[in-house]
A = this chain, B = another copy of it.
Amino acid sequence: MTKEELFQNIQNKESYLCVGLDTDIKRIPKHLLKYEDPIFEFNKQIIDATHDLCVAYKPNIAFYEALGAKGWESLQKTIEYIPKEIFTVADAKRGDIGNTSSLYARAFFENMNFDSITVAPYMGKDSVKPFLEFDNKWVILLGLTSNKGRDDFQKMDLVEGGKLYEKVLRKSQEWGGESQLMYVVGATQAAEFESIRTIIPNHFLLVPGVGAQGGDLELVSKYGMNSQCGLLVNSSRGIIYADDTVDFTKIARKKSKEIQLQMTEYLQKYL
């Protein structure tokens, strides 16, 4: 998917919501366990209930990998089920030496036809580059994550100036442009967003943490939005596990709709 197509979808749907498919067999409604593939069945029903309200789906690969070969099949079926015009994120946080990253790229971009994959930057250029060699596919590089542990390394001050995560944003500009690279940015303060938007004014940011991980949608929208929106804001548990009864799809839709309506407002206000 191109950047323009993604922006078009955002405008059409008045939404920049990404729904995280962190599907855990222990947390899905019990009545789904009778299905041959309960994980896929859950995803299918969530997708049916939310696809007109969101512009992206993001399965976190750990949830599928924890189930071995079977989980891999549920993931494959899920990605095939997602409507083609919706952006898909393999939240995999991969990154290895070049020939190995190429294999991960093939796994997620070719075998499963994801639009994008999250990548960890620690190993540098040659671990990221192989993911950038696919047309209309995206790398979403970890910039500033939303977890507590981000303080351990990402916020270290560098002798050359700035913090490590800012260096990651800057350095990676040499590897690919704004039509191929997005960043995971779990910023929680206006000042962080302002600094980030100084370095990467035009890029899309994938913002985790609205919902179960905390975070403030208006702050993110006010300080993070650019002229093409430039935001995908994720919610996982706050939508998909909002209810665990036979009504779970209704409640998931209700929660998605609430967020989407806020987004409509912020698009009018800040775009």
Contacts and interface: CB of A to CB of B under 8 A. Distances in A.
The 6 closest A-B pairs by CB, nearest first: A124-B149, A124-B152, A157-B159, A62-B103, A69-B72, A69-B69
A151 B174 CA distance: 14
A125 interface: yes
Given A63-B103, A93-B95, A120-B122, A160 B149 contact: no
Contacts of A199: none
A156 B63 CA distance: 34
A101 B60 CA distance: 11
Interface in A47-62: 60, 62
A127 B103 contact: no
Tier of interface size on chain A: 35 or more
Given A66-B106, A159-B158, A164-B156, A147 B122 contact: no
A172 to B, nearest CB: 9
Contacts of A60: 96, 100
Contact of A124 (B69, B95, B127, B150): B150
Interface string A91-121: 1011111101101101100011000000011
Interface of A: 22, 24, 60, 62-63, 65-66, 68-70, 72-73, 76, 91, 93-98, 100-101, 103-104, 106-107, 111-112, 120-128, 142, 145-154, 156-160, 164, 167-168, 171, 213
Given A63-B103, A93-B96, 16 more contacts: A66-B103, A66-B106, A68-B72, A68-B76, A69-B69, A69-B70, A97-B147, A123-B142, A123-B147, A123-B150, A123-B154, A126-B149, A128-B149, A156-B159, A158-B158, A158-B159
Nearest to A172: B152
Contacts of A154: 122-124
A27 to B, nearest CB: 11
A107 B156 contact: no
Contacts of A164: 153, 156, 164
22 contacts: A22-B100, A60-B96, A63-B100, A65-B104, A65-B107, A66-B106, A68-B72, A69-B70, A69-B72, A93-B120, A95-B120, A97-B145, A122-B122, A124-B147, A124-B154, A126-B148, A127-B149, A152-B171, A153-B167, A156-B159, A157-B158, A157-B160
